[in-house]
Amino acid sequence: MNLAFKKTTCRVLVVSLFALSLQTARAGLIGADQAAGSTAPTERALVLSTLDRAEVAAQLQAAGIDPLDAKARVQSMSDREVHALAQDIQTAPVGGDLGAWGWVAIIVIAALIWYYAIRK
């Protein structure tokens, strides 16, 4: 590297350090309600929006549950119950089962790997 590039890089770094150090920080005590933060309204909205989906409503009706009753139940749930349900929704696998074509694709890929990597 040439010397001019090194000098320019050092100058840019020094200027950026000075610019960052001029920002001020504020320290103070906060209450427990501010520290924890309430995510219950957003989690409740997530659960209710999931119940609004057509696929979910169809599955509820197939199980003999009225979607309006399910929404009323979610509204009456405690924040802890809504949090647990929202966590289950967010961590649930997407797309369902693999299906027949998925298994065929896995078998074909495994056979090709065996053929090209192990057999030769």
Question: What tens digit of pLDDT does each residue of 56-83 get?
Answer: 889 889 989 899 999 998 899 888 888 8
The token duo for 19 is 């610019």
Q: Which pTM value belongs to this model?
A: 0.48
Token pair in block for residue 95:
């797309």
If 0-12 CB within 10 Å is exposed, 13-18 middle and 19+ buried, where does residue 67 land?
Answer: middle
Tokens of 83: 């949090």
Question: Which region holds residue 108: left if phi is over 0, alpha if psi is between -120 and 50, else beta?
Answer: alpha
Q: What is the mean pLDDT of residues 85-103?
A: 76
Q: What mean pLDDT do residues 28-54 have?
A: 80
Instruction: Please say if the pLDDT value at position 38 is more than 70.
Output: no
Residue 120 has pLDDT above 60, yes or no: no
Residue 35: φ, ψ to 5°: -70, -45
- Residue predicted with more confidence, 85 or 18: 85
How would residue 118 be classed by pLDDT, with cut points 50, 70 and 90? Answer: confident
d(CA 113, CA 120): 11
pLDDT at 109 over 60: yes
> How far is it, in rounded angstroms, from Cα 86 to Cα 44?
8
Mean pLDDT confidence for 101-114: 81
